[in-house]
Structure 1
Amino acid sequence: MVLAGGKSLRLGREKALERLNKQTLIERTIGCLSPICQTILVVTSQEQFNLIAAAGLKGRVIVDFYPGRGALGGIYTGLASADSFYSLVVGCDMPFLNRDFLRYMIDITPDFDAVVPRIDDMLEPLHAVYSRGCLSPIKELLNQDRLGISPVFNLVKTRYVSKDEITKFDPEYLSFFNINTQDDLKKAEKLVRQREERLTVREGGI
C-alpha cells in the first residue's frame, strides 16, 4: 500500500509525481514493491485522484475514506480495501526503500498485527506492516479525532524491528528518508548520483 494523499505544502507541488532520476517518486516506490507484493494499492485524496489515476501506475488507485484525517485515515482505507490480511504500508515520498529489508519485515509478520521499525525512541509507522486486525483500533482512534499513528501500536500485538536488525540491511537508514522540501529533493538527487558512481566503479573493476 502506497500513501499518496499528502498536500505537499512544503514542496509546493504534487510530490508523488515529482521526478527523481527519470522516474516519478511514486513509480520508483511501486517499482520497489511490485516484486514482493501481490497487489499494489495507492491511497490518495479526492483532489489528487485524477492526477494520480492518469499517471498510468501499476496498481489500484483508491480515494481516502477519511479525507483530511492524515495518514491514519489512509492506512484504514487501504486495509479495508485490501484483499490480503496483511498490508505493507509506505509513503510515496520514500525514494530509497530497501527491498531486502521490506521482505524481512514481511517474513517476521506472522503472529503479529503490526511490524514497525524503531530506532531509539523513533518509530517509522509509514514504513510498516499492518494487519486487518488493526482496523477496529484505527477506526476507534479516528472516531476520537486522535490522528497520530503511534497509539495504534499500543492497541495491537506489535513487533518492533530493532536498530540492530535495521542496520543489517540499511546501515545509513536511507529507507526512512522522505522528501518534503526542495532541499530534500536535491539531497535525494545527490544520493542517486553517488549510488550510480559507486555502481560504475564496481562494474569497471576499479
Structure 2
Amino acid sequence: MLTVVIQAGGRSARLWQDKGLIPLGGKPMIEHVIRRVEGLGDELMITTPCPQAYARFTARLVSDPELHAGPLVGLQTALRAASHRTVLVLACDMPFVERELLEYMLSIATQADVVVPQHNGWYEPLQAVYSRRCLPAIEGAIASGEKRVVSFFPRVRVLTVGRPILDQLDPRGLSFFNVNTEDDLVRAESLLAAESSAIDPSRDL
C-alpha cells in the first residue's frame, strides 16, 4: 500500500505565485505531476499551506503547519498524515518525473527506510520514497534545529539510486528539472511542446 504525496510549498519568491498553480501547457504545473503518477498509489495527497487553492484536484489535501517552516517540516507533515507505511514524496515543480524511475524506487523500497536518487552528486529528497519509520529521526532532527531534508539521513537506512540506473530509466535527464525561474518556465514550455509533438506528430502540421 502506497501514499503518493505532492508537496506544494506555496508562493515562489522568484515567480511571484504559487508554483503548483503556475500555468504550464495550459494546465497548472501540479497537474502534470499528478498525471505522471496517476494510478501509482492507493492514496494521493497534496500538502500545502493553502489547501483551498487546490480544492479542484481529486486528492486528499493536508495543510502544512507553517508557510516558512522549511522542507523537513513539510516531510514530517506528509509522513504523519499518510495513511500507508510507504510514502512517495514529490515536488510540485518537477513536471517531467519519469514514472519508470519511480516504479523502480518503489520496487526496492522494502530494502531501506529511504530510497533516494543521487543526481550529479546531490541527493534528490523531493523525489524519493520514505517509510513512516523515519518519523522519529525526522522529529529528532527538527528538535535539533535542522531544516534540510537530508539532515536525518545518517540516522536511518538510506538506499541511493545513481548511475547507471538513472541513465537507463531517465534517459532524457529531466526527472530532476525543476521550475524555479522565468527562464525555467520557458524551457519547460518548450520541453512540453516537444513531448506533445512526439506523442501526436499531427500537432506540428
Taking the TM superposition and a 5 Å limit, the aligned residue runs for 1:68-147 are 68-147=68-147
State the match for 2:197 in structure 1: 197
**Rounded Cα–Cα distance in structure 2 between residues aligned with 1:121 and 1:101:** 18
Q: Shift in Å at residue 196 of structure 1?
A: 2.4
State the match for 1:52 in structure 2: 54
For the 8 Å contact 1:79–1:132, the answer to whether it is kept is: yes
Greater CA deviation, 28-37 or 122-131? 28-37
**Rounded Cα–Cα distance in structure 2 between residues aligned with 1:199 and 1:92:** 23
Instruction: Give the secondary structure class of the aligned counterpart of 2:90.
Output: strand
**Counterpart amino acid of 2:161?**
V
Indicate yes or no: 2:35 matched with 1:22.
no
Q: Shift in Å at residue 6 of structure 1?
A: 3.6
RMSD (Å) for aligned C-alpha atoms:
1.6
Indicate yes or no: 2:14 matched with 1:10.
yes
State the match for 1:168 in structure 2: 168
State the match for 1:158 in structure 2: 158
Indicate yes or no: 2:41 matched with 1:37.
yes
**Rounded Cα–Cα distance in structure 1 between residues aligned with 2:20 and 2:167:** 27
Q: Shift in Å at residue 119 of structure 1?
A: 2.2
Instruction: Give the secondary structure class of the aligned counterpart of 1:97.
Output: coil
Q: Shift in Å at residue 31 of structure 1?
A: 1.7
Q: TM-score, normalised by structure 2?
A: 0.91
For the 8 Å contact 1:3–1:71, the answer to whether it is kept is: no
Post-superposition CA distance 1:67-113 (Å, at most 9, x none): 42211111111111111101000001111011111111111101310
For the 8 Å contact 2:116–2:161, the answer to whether it is kept is: yes
Distance 1:31 1:191, change over 3 A: same
Instruction: Give the secondary structure class of the aligned counterpart of 1:88.
Output: strand
**Rounded Cα–Cα distance in structure 1 between residues aligned with 2:121 and 2:38:** 31
Greater CA deviation, 169-178 or 125-134? 169-178
Indicate yes or no: 2:61 matched with 1:61.
yes
State, as a whole percentage, how many aligned pairs show the same letter: 34
**Rounded Cα–Cα distance in structure 1 between residues aligned with 2:67 and 2:179:** 22
Q: Shift in Å at residue 199 of structure 1?
A: 3.1
**Rounded Cα–Cα distance in structure 2 between residues aligned with 1:67 and 1:23:** 24
Q: TM-score, normalised by structure 1?
A: 0.91
Instruction: Give the secondary structure class of the aligned counterpart of 2:109.
Output: coil
How many aligned residue pairs are there? 199
Q: Unpaired runs of 5+ in structure 2?
A: none
Distance 1:139 1:66, change over 3 A: farther
Q: Shift in Å at residue 136 of structure 1?
A: 0.7
